[in-house]
Chain A
Amino acid sequence: DVKVTQSSRYLVKRTGEKVFLECVQDMDHENMFWYRQDPGLGLRLIYFSYDVKMKEKGDIPEGYSVSREKKERFSLILESASTNQTSMYLCASSFGDLGNTGELFFGEGSRLTVL
């Protein structure tokens, strides 16, 4: 069964802390994504990676960075967490051109609360 695994389902951090959210996929997908999901706002793309060490900013990259040192792993980093980063974070992966091959595969999400 194909799988995208996010390391933590629930995290509680304090303002100013550095936060790492880890995501691993076992499908040998080139593309990996980090989204943020908030009520009424849907999914917003934070960062996208199409290859190892390659990344592109999404719609809301401010306050975030990412790391992709290995193909299967894509990390989201909050350098200094703030309360407005309290949210659900979703990792996803895909193979190739979505217009032709289709779907994203999502992890179960990491719910981050920043106090």
Chain B
Amino acid sequence: GNSVTQMEGPVTLSEEAFLTINCTYTATGYPSLFWYVQYPGEGLQLLLKATKADDKGSNKGFEATYRKETTSFHLEKGSVQVSDSAVYFCALSERGSYIPTFGRGTSLIVHP
């Protein structure tokens, strides 16, 4: 079956540091890949997505590139802010599927 593995957190950074959150996946087909973000006290919201190999998703300064050869979709940001403190979930969905597979989430804490 499908699976998504994320690095365990919490990830603790100082403001303006570079962020990488690793995500690797196992899938039987050619999935679409997603990053969701959950700010404190809120539900999840889509941060970015990529639907095919070598696509780059980007939003709010975050980027992730769909790497089929390494089955990865790592999230990066060049300079984090305190307001980026949240839990980040990597997810995949196969073509024809209605149910996504989520990673366990990675908590990011950014200090001033």
What is the minimal beta-carbon distance from B59 to any residue of chain A, in angstroms?
Answer: 12
The reply to whether A103 and B49 form a contact with Cβ atoms under 8 Å apart is yes
**Chain B binding surface, main DSSP class:** loop
Q: How far is B96's CA from A31's CA once the two chains are assembled, in angstroms?
A: 13
Task: Find the A residue at minimum CB distance from B46.
Answer: A103
What is the minimal beta-carbon distance from B16 to any residue of chain A, in angstroms?
Answer: 29
What is the minimal beta-carbon distance from B37 to any residue of chain A, in angstroms?
Answer: 11
Please list 24 pairs of residues, one from A and one from B, whose beta carbons are closer than 8 Å in the complex, sorted by A's number: A4-B43, A40-B104, A43-B44, A43-B89, A43-B102, A43-B105, A48-B99, A58-B99, A90-B44, A94-B98, A96-B98, A97-B97, A98-B97, A98-B100, A99-B95, A99-B97, A100-B95, A102-B34, A102-B51, A103-B49, A104-B44, A104-B100, A107-B43, A108-B41
User: Which residues of chain A have a CB within 8 Å of any CB of chain B?
Assistant: 4, 31, 33, 40-43, 45, 48, 50, 58, 90, 92, 94, 96-100, 102-104, 106-109
